[in-house]
Amino acid sequence: MHHQPARIHTVIAATNYLRVSEVTEAILDRFLYKALILPDKDPYTQFKIAQKYLVHGGKPAEPPQKIPFAELKYMHSIITGTNPAITIRIRPEDLYFANLVVGHFEHLRNRALRESHRGQAAETYREFYISPRTQAKSLDLLRALALLRARTHVTHEDISKLYFIFATVGVPEEIALFKKSFETIQNSLVSSNGLEQIATLLAFETLLQHIRQDRSILEQPLGELATTPIRRTFIEWFRETFGGVDRTVAQNRRQLEQFIAEFVPATEEVRELKRAVEHLMTRVFQEIERDQAREEERRRRRQQREGSSGL
């Protein structure tokens, strides 16, 4: 038999017992999907298991049909976002919403842990932790859920199913806690127009990132920003505030700062995002000021050298 090296495609592990420690937690974190399967002692189920054992002797049964590896690879390229022809889109506001749900779920899990260990020192139990790796990999699950429903975009329905990766399937309490987190965050944002505010702030954040990369954007009249990722919310505010008249380039920074200053968050989640955008805006303008000061200093020295050479 000829063997060829191959990349690992799928790893499945099973154990009857697992002692929780730093080492085992790190190992478990590498497995994206976890399930608790309790033994089924129903007599009929046990009878069917015994029947299969008599036929196959405990060895894997040959499936009636197999999925070609090429098809799995093709689906994998779509789910991981590497397929050049098919893209499953996740809107920035939906991605932010998903992170809020996951963060709230982590908070509820740890609160439940503290309540169950009330009276005990914090060192006697380990807090529930969702690693950045798992949180990033959940994007693949979102795209897979959308693909299963023949959609090219992720919806809140898909986000509500993220318990497949963040909870242990087979543990109803964990799944119920995730669903509670989803409903809590969604109800809070939907009832207060918070989702639209998040979309606006994220678009504003994208504009700041574009300004960071291309300073010439800040030199354009703000009334022309409709061509940038900023949403119509800012354009409407600008026209209401300044009568739709483009001001001088020198005032663009003040107008951007004024937009954020007058932005009233509807929820605490939106308020936290606003603070993050404010900090980013401060850093971007500080970088611009620093670069302008350096350029001015270079210009001054160049003029001094030219003046000296003229003498």
Q: Does residue 270 fall inside a structural domain?
A: yes
- Per-residue pLDDT reduced to its tens digit, 254-288: 888 888 998 999 999 999 999 999 999 999 999 98
How many structural domains does the chain have?
A: 2
Q: What is the pLDDT of residue 300?
A: 86
Does residue 287 share a domain with residue 185? no
Does residue 173 share a domain with residue 205? no
Three-state secondary structure readout of 18-56: CCCCHHHHHHHHCCCCCECCCCCCCHHHHHHHHHHHHHH
Can you state the angle between helices 232-242 and 194-213, rounded to 10 degrees?
90
Domain end residue (candidates: 133, 157, 191): 191
Does residue 129 share a domain with residue 107? yes
CB atoms inside a 10 Å sphere around CB 146 = 21
Q: Does residue 161 fall inside a structural domain?
A: yes
Residues with Cβ within 8 Å of 288's Cβ and at least 6 positions away in sequence, in order, are 211, 215, 218
Q: What is the mean pLDDT of residues 75-92?
A: 95
Does residue 209 share a domain with residue 148? no
Q: Does residue 14 fall inside a structural domain?
A: no
Does residue 219 share a domain with residue 175? no
Q: Chain-wide mean pLDDT for the chain?
A: 86
Per the model's pLDDT, the better-predicted residue between 131 and 85 turns out to be 85
For the chain, helix, strand, coil in percent to 5 are 65, 0, 35
What is the pTM (predicted TM-score) of this model? 0.83
- Per-residue pLDDT reduced to its tens digit, 9-67: 788 888 888 777 777 777 888 888 989 888 889 999 999 999 989 988 888 888 889 99
Confidence band, pLDDT 50/70/90 cuts, at residue 234: low
Q: For residue 97, give the nearest of 187, 158, 159, 147 by alpha carbon.
A: 159
- Domain with 144 in it: 21-36+91-191
Look at 47-56, 192-201, 205-214, 296-305 and tell me which has the smallest mean pLDDT. Answer: 296-305
Domain end residue (candidates: 164, 191, 218): 191
Domain end residue (candidates: 151, 173, 191): 191
Does residue 27 share a domain with residue 171? yes
How many Å is the maximal CA-CA distance in the chain? Answer: 106
Q: How far apart are CA 30 and CA 33, in angstroms?
A: 9
Does residue 32 share a domain with residue 150? yes
Q: What is the pLDDT of residue 7?
A: 74
Confidence check: pLDDT of 241 > 50? yes
Does residue 130 share a domain with residue 31? yes
Does residue 146 share a domain with residue 26? yes
Q: What is the pLDDT of residue 227?
A: 45
Does residue 130 share a domain with residue 259? no
Does residue 263 share a domain with residue 128? no
Does residue 151 share a domain with residue 225? no
